[in-house]
């Protein structure tokens, strides 16, 4: 069976082409921009234009979760985050080079296709996408499976969250990649450092809830709170579910004065222990 998907975005028409999904006699699935050499032996169906998937060539791998297309358009891999590589603005984080190298090796000499979710671009004008190889390999998911990335779900883009969650649990259990690195181990909340920033893992017990105009806070103690945007509350169980229970919090730490806030956007970042 041969399925053709036409590219839709005119702005990228020079860099994308029709995508063919080919299922051979043994059931093996491949994706390619070339029609089958033996069309008489396949069933060809032209699908309606699919706004979610486009085929591209890659110019450069910037880091473990960002690539640059031939047209210089940056693409941020959706649903994941990898450790930072060194730059003028920040130091290298453990695992950053490993994630970048794995992605470079996976994409080398291959075309990719992009699958979009609810938002196609972020505020930095980067495309937001799930990235697949021609054989159907989902690179975002594979990075999680290898322990090279962790889940970073930002609503409304929640496609593939169940598969990501299963893969991350397996990688954690096997202590693959970052899950075996001392820098990414979970710590009790009383060990939070005064200079804590970036993605962190802590355990603590929420004591009460504070509601504000834009955010709701699970207050852990006088210095630390978990922040959830009110627009995202519908994705979470009732927040009082967490009160009085030991939970692991995974999120980005920020500090203002002597108080810390850990921002979480999806319930996968709050784990009852």
Q: Check: CB of residue 250 under 8 Å from CB of residue 150.
A: yes
Residue 151: phi, psi to the nearest 5? -60, 140
Phi–psi pair at 7, nearest 5 degrees? -70, 150
Residue 21 designated active-site: no
Question: Does the annotation count 172 as an active-site position?
Answer: no
Cβ-based neighbours of 248, under 8 Å, separated by 6 or more: 186, 201, 202, 203, 270, 271, 273
Catalytic residue among 53, 84, 159, 250: 84
207 is catalytic: no
| Long-range contacts of the stretch 109-114 (C-beta < 8 A, 24+) | 110/58, 110/134, 111/33, 111/55, 111/56, 111/57, 111/58, 112/55, 112/56, 112/57, 112/58, 112/67, 112/139, 113/19, 113/31, 113/53, 113/54, 113/55, 113/56, 114/53, 114/54, 114/55, 114/56, 114/75
Among residues 21, 74, 126, 255, which one is catalytic?
Answer: 126
- Choose among 128, 111, 110: nearest CA to 66: 128
How far is Cα 146 from Cα 56, in angstroms, rounded to an integer?
Answer: 24
Q: Which residues does the annotation mark as catalytic?
A: 76, 84, 126
């Amino acid at each position: 069976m041969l399925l053709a998907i036409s590219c839709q975005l005119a702005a990228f028409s020079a860099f994308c082409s029709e995508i063919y999904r080919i299922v051979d006699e043994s059931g093996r699935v491949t994706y390619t921009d070339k029609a089958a050499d033996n069309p008489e032996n396949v069933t060809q169906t032209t699908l309606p234009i699919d706004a979610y998937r486009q085929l591209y060539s890659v110019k450069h791998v910037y880091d473990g979760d960002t690539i640059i297309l031939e047209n210089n358009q940056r693409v941020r891999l959706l649903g994941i985050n990898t450790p930072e590589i060194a730059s003028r603005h920040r130091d290298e984080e453990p695992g950053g080079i490993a994630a970048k190298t794995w992605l470079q090796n996976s994409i080398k000499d291959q075309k990719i296709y992009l699958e979009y979710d609810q938002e196609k671009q972020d505020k930095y004008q980067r495309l937001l996408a799930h990235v697949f190889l021609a054989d159907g390999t989902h690179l975002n998911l594979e990075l999680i499976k290898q322990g090279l990335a962790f889940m970073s779900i930002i609503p409304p883009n929640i496609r593939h969250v169940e598969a990501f969650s299963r893969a991350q649990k397996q990688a954690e259990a096997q202590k693959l990649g970052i899950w075996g690195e001392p820098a990414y181990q979970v710590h009790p909340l009383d060990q939070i450092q005064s200079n804590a920033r970036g993605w962190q893992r802590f355990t603590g017990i929420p004591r009460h809830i504070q509601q504000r105009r834009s955010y709701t806070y699970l207050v852990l103690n006088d210095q630390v709170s978990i922040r959830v945007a009110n627009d995202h509350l519908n994705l979470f169980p009732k927040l009082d579910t967490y009160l009085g229970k030991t939970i692991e919090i995974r999120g980005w730490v920020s500090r203002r004065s002597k108080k810390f806030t850990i921002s979480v956007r999806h319930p996968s970042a709050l784990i009852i222990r």
